[in-house]
Every structure is written in C-alpha cells, then in structure tokens.
A and B are shown apart, each in its own frame.
Chain A
Amino acid sequence: MSKIDFSDVVVATSTMAVVMGLVTKILETKTRDHKLHTILNFAWLGIMLLTMLINMLGYEVSYSTIICLTVLYAVQRSKGFPPARMLSIAFVPATIVYLINDTFLQLTPNFFKDNRDYFDTARGFAFMWVLGFTIYAQRQAKRDKVVRDKAEEERRIIEAKKQELEYQVAERTAELRKQKESLEEALEELKTTQNQLIQAEKMASLGELTAGIAHEIQNPLNFVNNFSEVSVELCQELQEELDREDFDKTYIAEILNDISQNQQKITHHGQRAASIVRGMLQHSRASNGQKELTDINALADEYLRLSYHGLRAKDKTFNADFKTDLAVDLPKIELIPQDFGRVLLNIINNAFYAVQQKAKIGIEGYKPSVVVSTAKIEDEIVVKIIDNGGGMPESIKTKIFQPFFTTKPTGQGTGLGLSLSYDIVTKGHGGTLEVESIEGEGTNFIITLPLK
C-alpha cells in the first residue's frame, strides 16, 4: 500500500474540473444532453477517487489520459454536433500520445526512464496541441453559437410569422366558412322564394282562368238542370198518357226515347263539368313530376277554350276567332300534363292578350284570331300557337324568355310565364320553344317535343 500523493490528486481533480467546464461549454451539454452534462460536472469526483485508488495501489498513471478519454467519451456522445469534431481533432492525437506514454511507463519502466526526455517532449507537444485546438474549438464554438443563435432567432421569427399566418388563415377560413354558410342560407331562401314565385305564377295564371272556368262549368250545369227539369215534365206527361184509356203507344215510345236521350245529355254535360274541374285541380296541384301518356290535342283544346272565356269574362267587348287545327293521328306522348298544360296556357293567354290589345286600337277590318295547331313531323310533335296580334320587335323578342321580363302593365304579369314555359319545355321535356314574330302582324310560338 503506498501513500497517497495528495498534490497529484488535487492537480488531477482541478484539471479535470477546468477541462470539463470548457468541454460542457463547447459541447453545450447543458441544453443538448442533460445526462452527459451531469456526468461531466461530476467527473472531477471520479478522477479524484480514481487517482487516489491508483496511488494507493502503487501505480503511476497519467491523469491526463483519463481526462482525454473522458473528453473522447463526451465527443462520442455528441457525434454530429459540429464543435465535437474540433474537440476530437484536439484530443485524439493527445490521447494516443498519453496512452503510448502510459504503456511504456507501465510495461518497460527502464526504457521509459532512459528516454524520458522524448516522452516528456511528446507529452508537451500533445498538451500544446490540445490547448491550441481547444482554444480554437472554443472560439469556433462561440462563432458557431452566434450563427446558430442567429439562425435560431430567424427560425423563431419565421415560426412566429408562420403562427401568425396560420392564425390569419384560420381566421380567414372561419370568416369564409361563415360567408359560405350565409350564402347557403341565402341560396336556400332564394330557392324557397323561387318556389313561391312559381306557385304564385301558377296561381296568377289560374286566376286568369277563373272566369273562363266558371263559364265553362256554368254552361254544362245549366244543361244538366234544364234536361233534368224537362225529364220530370216528360215523366208527368207519360203518366198522364198512361192514365188515358186509349193511350197512344207511339206517343209513349216517343216520350221514353226523349227521356233516354235526356239522361245521356245529363251524363254528357255532367262529365264535361267534371272534366273542367279536374283540369283546374290538375293545374293548381303541385306537379309530381311524373310523366304520363297525354293527349296533347285534348289539352290544347281545353286550354284554348278556358283561356278565351277567361278573357271574355273580363272584357265583354272582346271577341276573337279561336280555333284548333289538330292532327287527327297525333300519338299520345309521355309528358308531365300539369307542367305542359301551364306552358300552353301561358302562351295562349299571351296570344289572346296580344290580339285584344291590337283590337283595342280599332283597326278597320281587323279580326282577332288565335289558332292552336298540332302536327307530327318525323319523330317530333310540333305545337304552334299562332296569333295575329301586334307582334313584337326584335329587341323584345330576345328578352321574352328572361325571368321577370314583361311588357304588361305593373300588376298584370309576373314576367315568369314564358321563362318558366321555356324551362318546362327544354329542361323538363327535352324539347324546344321558339318564337317567330313580325311587328304589327302577329306572333307564332312553336313548341317541338321529341316522340322518344
């Protein structure tokens, strides 16, 4: 057991503390590697105990080697961190020198003693090497730190800007979402309003029809009443004849024949009224969008009459020739009857309105006329509504299918009739709706519908 050389222990401990102080700073272990930082900070304790132990065992070991190995351990743990490379350049050669020195000291003490000067010189060089490179490494580390701090600062600024941008984007997104929601709401409202307008337009055209419908229903009802009354009278007459002893068989047969004929008339006129009511209900009913086989001729005839009587009811002085020119072989076609009925009604109403306006001017010899014709041309059905009214100039012709465009005085037209008709014919039935018009001479509306 040897005596402990305390001066050796103190030098080793303090050198270790100073070197590790530098290394922790250069390698920035405090912020980068907490565990390594703790190890390096307590390395002085380790070397103190180790030196004491080696002393006690009688060995002579250079504490410089232990310090160098500790530094190399720290460098190894900090691989990738730039200052670590500089430290490894500083310490690897020195460590080799110290290790060689120690090896010779332990294995061949005599050789070591004989050449001590060389070994001392080598250690001296190693120390200078370490010192020089460590100082350089420290400066380099400082410069690097400045650069890194600057980069870090820039990164922080960029990060802050990024965050601000993200915040702005989030804010803008929220704003846009809000706008989108309010736009959707507005769109929904518009759709509702559009539906209401369509319904209003439908009701307006129905309103125009009311008088015509009343007239068309009143007539058959009058017949039903009159023929019923006559039948009652005929029955009384029959009874009276039968009460006579010499009743006339031929006369009785005649009366019975009349009664039978009357019953047929009553049925016919009853059905006529019912069909008008049915048509009216169909018109006012919301379209179910279902296409069904429809007789366009019947539809055209019915709406022409309703429209005429509707106008007549409002203006008793008005008279017009109206007739149909319907193709007898016209096939039934799949369409939405309520919708297509509205198209016919709108255009026929317009035609009567046009001839009525022209008639008001009082042109000598003018005979208002509205004709509805149907025809099958190749694989299309063509429906024409022809009037000899005032026609329209080109400037108006280009606008008539636009929503809310009307030439009627305020309150008399919604301006939706033709625009809706256009949509119904083109979008709803894959057909076309065209207008030909000569100002002062009249207007033709031409609807074509594909048969398939």
Chain B
Amino acid sequence: MKILVVDDEEDVRVLFQQRFRREIRAGEFDFAFSGSGEEALEYLKGQDLEAILILSDINMPGMSGIELLRQIRLKSPSSPPTIMMITAYGDAQSHDQAMALGANDFLTKPLDFIELKQKLQSSL
C-alpha cells in the first residue's frame, strides 16, 4: 500500500520520512510525495487506486485539496482510494465540504503523528 502525501510545503516530505523512519525501514509504510494537486493527479494516472491512500493538505496554491478530492471522486465516486484531508485548526467549513465530497477522514494541523499513525495502520 502506497501513501501519497500531497502538500505544497517541501519540508513535509522530510518530516514524514523522519517521523515514520522505523515504519519505513520495517516496510510497514511506503510514502510518495506530491507538491500540488495537479502533480498528485498526474501521479495517480496509471496507478492502482486500490493500493493507494491519499493524505492531502487543503490549503494549497493552484488546485486546492478540495478540488483534488472533487476530481478524484468524479472518477471513482466511492473508495478506493482512501482519502484523508488535512487542514488548519478550526476550519470547520473545509471539514464539512471535504466530508460532503467523500473524504474518508479528516485531520487538523498541527498533526498528531501518533493519531495519524493509528489511522494509517487501521486503514492499511
């Protein structure tokens, strides 16, 4: 199972790689990274959606996470892939919007990595 992390912040990649170094070493998690919604859509082309879990930020320049979610669900209205959305604290509007569009779960920043790990493990 591949976990595709979509975030415009470059350092998110470093953070995930370090935070889950043990899981990566153990082969438990396998991460891929995209810097934007457009890049993520490109990556998904030709991928087996059943073997992918998407973890996407909402607030990004250009295509937002919400738009990415809409586009993916247009193609495959129900899971797979599993999509978890991440956004800033207190953004209830985005939460409702994402849920209505078919997001599987919702996380707020700052990320609680213990909670994230549990959610990823249960989804996988």
- Whether A and B are associated in the same complex: the answer reads yes
CB neighbours of B18 from chain A (8 A): 230, 234, 258, 262
A219 pairs with B9, CB closer than 8 A: yes
Question: Which of chain B's residues have a CB closer than 8 A to the CB of A269?
Answer: 11
Contact (Cβ within 8 A) A308 B61:
yes
Interface string of A260-291 (1 = CB under 8 A from B): 01100100010000000000000000000000
The answer, yes or no, to whether B104 is at the interface (CB within 8 Å) is: no
Chain A 302-360 residues near chain B, CB threshold 8 A: 308-309, 312, 316-317, 319, 321-322
Across the interface, do B64 and A218 meet the contact criterion of CB distance under 8 Å?
no
Chain B residues near A317: list those with CB within 8 A. 66, 97
Among A227, A234, A312, A321, contact of B15 (Cβ-Cβ < 8 Å): A227
| CB atoms of A222 and B93 under 8 A apart | no
Task: Tell me if A199 is interfacial: C-beta within 8 Å of chain B.
Answer: no
In whole angstroms, how far apart are the Cα atoms of A218 and B86 in the complex?
A: 14
Q: Is the interface of A mostly helix, strand, loop or mixed?
A: helix
A9–B32 Cα distance when bound, in Å, is 154
| B contact residues around A223 at 8 Å (CB) | 9, 11, 15
Assuming the contacts A316-B94, A321-B61, asked whether A229 and B113 have C-beta atoms less than 8 A apart, the reply is yes
User: Which of A222, A233, A262, A309 touches B110 (beta carbons < 8 Å)?
Assistant: A222
Q: Which of A227, A312, A316 gathers most chain B CB within 10 Å?
A: A316
CA distance A308 to B61 in the complex (A): 9
CB closest residue in chain A, given B19: A230
Proximity bits, B14-27, A CB within 8 Å = 1, else 0: 11001101000000
Q: Is A226 engaged at the interface, CB distance under 8 Å to the other chain?
A: yes
Asked if A319 contacts B89 (CB within 8 A), the reply is no
A215 surroundings in chain B (CB, below 8 A): 59, 88
Q: Point out the residues of chain B lying under 8 angstroms from A316, CB to CB.
A: 58, 66, 91, 93-94, 97
Docked pose: A230 CA to B16 CA in angstroms: 10
- On chain A, the residues within 8 Å of B89 by CB distance are 218
Which B residues lie at the A interface, using CB under 8 A?
9, 11, 14-15, 18-19, 21, 58-59, 61-64, 66-67, 88-89, 91, 93-94, 97, 109-111, 113
Q: Apart from A221-B110, A230-B18, A321-B61, what are 5 other A-B pairs with CB-CB below 8 Å?
A: A218-B109, A227-B15, A258-B21, A312-B59, A316-B97
